[in-house]
Chains A and B, each alone.
Chain A
Amino acid sequence: MSDDVSLMLRASRGDRKAFRSLVERHQQSVYNFFLRTTGHPEDAEDLTQQLFINLYRSAGRYKPTASFRTFMYRIASNLAVSFARSRHRRDGVSLDQMLDEGREPPRHRLHDDPAAGAEWSELEEAYLAALAELPADWRTAVELRVGRQLSYKEIAQVMGKSVSAVESILFRARERLAEKLEPFKE
């Protein structure tokens, strides 16, 4: 039995110390998942907190036969997609509009430290802007695969889709991302 499963089972019996260990172990991964899927540090913080609160309250339903990571990212994925549906994008301007107007894409708010962002290339910024424009479930699938390193089978379980649907989403997302990056290549 993995450490995560053991901690989760203890948490399901009301062991808050065990649950705190789980939060400490996974908060960085979860926070970055939400940061990439929402693009906003404040939203990522709120959703990370909400995820762990939901996780604690649903601990009684957790079965040790299921992977803890899959269980946790299933809740995270639902939160990310619901969040995207319930809120209009606040940046307002699309990447295409910016290019049409001859403007550079905005520095994506993925880091609180502006100095770190300053080192990013124009291509990276364009990639983040293009990622933010993908449909919420495509963005989630890309982040689960490339950022969180989940397998297609795990992503299918997390998102409640078939493996072939996940393959299709990732393929279409990459086509769209590559197309958006084309004007930024030398």
Chain B
Amino acid sequence: MDCDGFRKMISRRLDGELGDAELEKLERHLKVCDACRRCLESFGETVSIHKSLIEVSPPPSIVPSVMAAIEEPEPAWWVRGWLKVAVPAAALIVLLGLQVGGFLTETFVPPQQGDEVAVIELEYLDEYPPGSFGDVLVMASEGGGDEER
């Protein structure tokens, strides 16, 4: 076993998690390895400092706050379930609306003057644009052509 393996054993030894055979093996190695002895010392120091930290008294408000909170009825399962579905669904709808709105805004090209679209729109302002079904009917009923209109 190399020193890295022994250092892992040192960590377990400090936690009292080493069996007798492993402990004996480690002790033999520590007698001949300065680097691992320094590791034992530095790891041991971290454990000692942590153990020496003060156990602080908790604030007196904890017990009354907890007892007050558990007195409040927990929301019914179907309310919690509904919220789990409703909130993401609402978020999805808003996102989809933004995506569609963004797409329409980006792809919309306003008609320019003289465009075919503009001409068609103007034609449809006419009650019977030339060549339309209505125009033919009017011509038939009046017995005339374009030049007569």
In angstroms, how far is the closest chain A Cβ from the Cβ of B61? 7
Asked if A116 and B54 make an inter-chain contact with CB atoms under 8 angstroms apart, the answer reads yes
Instruction: Note all chain A residues with C-beta closer than 8 A to B50.
Output: 127, 131, 142-143, 146-147
Beyond A23-B66, A49-B66, A57-B74, whether A35 also contacts B17 by CB under 8 A is no
Asked if B67 and A48 make an inter-chain contact with CB atoms under 8 angstroms apart, the answer reads no
Asked if A127 and B70 make an inter-chain contact with CB atoms under 8 angstroms apart, the answer reads no
B49 at interface by CB-CB < 8 Å: yes
Instruction: Note all chain B residues with C-beta closer than 8 A to A41.
Output: 56, 59
Asked if B58 and A28 make an inter-chain contact with CB atoms under 8 angstroms apart, the answer reads yes
Tally chain A residues at the interface, Cβ within 8 Å. 46
In angstroms, how far is the closest chain A Cβ from the Cβ of B41? 9
Interface residues of B, dominant DSSP:
helix
Asked if B59 and A181 make an inter-chain contact with CB atoms under 8 angstroms apart, the answer reads no
Instruction: Note all chain A residues with C-beta closer than 8 A to B15.
Output: 145, 152, 170
In chain A, positions 85-143 with a C-beta closer than 8 Å to chain B are 110-112, 116, 123-124, 127-128, 131, 142-143
| B interface, size bucket | 20 to 34
Instruction: Note all chain B residues with C-beta closer than 8 A to A178.
Output: 39, 42-43, 45-46
User: How far is A70 from B73 in the complex, measured between Cα atoms in Å?
Assistant: 27
B12 at interface by CB-CB < 8 Å: yes
Instruction: Note all chain B residues with C-beta closer than 8 A to A67.
Output: none
Instruction: Note all chain B residues with C-beta closer than 8 A to A19.
Output: 70
Quick one: CB contact mask for A10-23 with B, threshold 8 Å, 1 for yes?
Answer: 00000010011001
User: How far is A124 from B43 in the complex, measured between Cα atoms in Å?
Assistant: 14
Q: Please list 28 pairs of residues, one from A and one from B, whose beta carbons are closer than 8 Å in the complex, sorted by A's number.
A: A23-B63, A27-B62, A28-B58, A30-B58, A31-B56, A32-B55, A32-B58, A36-B53, A41-B59, A48-B58, A49-B62, A49-B65, A53-B69, A111-B54, A124-B52, A127-B46, A127-B50, A142-B50, A146-B47, A167-B8, A167-B17, A170-B15, A174-B11, A175-B7, A177-B46, A178-B39, A178-B43, A181-B46
